[in-house]
Amino acid sequence: GEDVEQSLFLSVREGDSSVINCTYTDSSSTYLYWYKQEPGAGLQLLTYIFSNMDMKQDQRLTVLLNKKDKHLSLRIADTQTGDSAIYFCAETDSGAGSYQLTFGKGTKLSVIP
């Protein structure tokens, strides 16, 4: 089956940039997503990128996609303590009519004041 891999932990100082990385195996991925999960809560979509794009910027968030290497990253500029959460990378192959998302295990971001 398809696989999505992320490192489990990342620790940064407040005000620095955070970069969360993700690799995936599905060469037919059409959309790739970043979700955020705060403690004890459900997941919230942060941003997504269509597979024919290589970059997307949304305020403090920058998503980079290297389709050749199947590598996705999320950069958070000026990281704040409120950014502490688990970040999930996910992909879908909607071109095959699939509704399902394949999620990574999540990267726990800890922001040190």
Partner 1 sequence: SQTIHQWPATLVQPVGSPLSLECTVEGTSNPNLYWYRQAAGRGLQLLFYSVGIGQISSEVPQNLSASRPQDRQFILSSKKLLLSDSGFYLCAWSESGGLGAYNEQFFGPGTRLTVL
DSSP 4-26: EEE-SEEEEETTS-EEEEEEE--
In 10 A of CB 62, how many CB atoms?
A: 17
Of 2, 10, 23, 48, the residue at the interface with partner 1 (CB under 8 A) is 48
Binding string, residues 50-89; x marks residues near partner 1 by CB under 8 A: x-------------------------------------x-
Structure tokens at 45: 């979509």
Binds partner 1 (CB under 8 A): choice among 31, 62, 64, 84: 31
Tokens standing for 8? 């489990």
Count CB-CB contacts under 10 A for residue 22: 23
Q: How far is the CB of 15 from partner 1 (least distance, A)?
A: 29
Q: Which residues bind partner 1 (CB under 8 A)?
A: 8, 30-31, 33, 35, 40-45, 48, 50, 88, 92, 94-101, 103-106
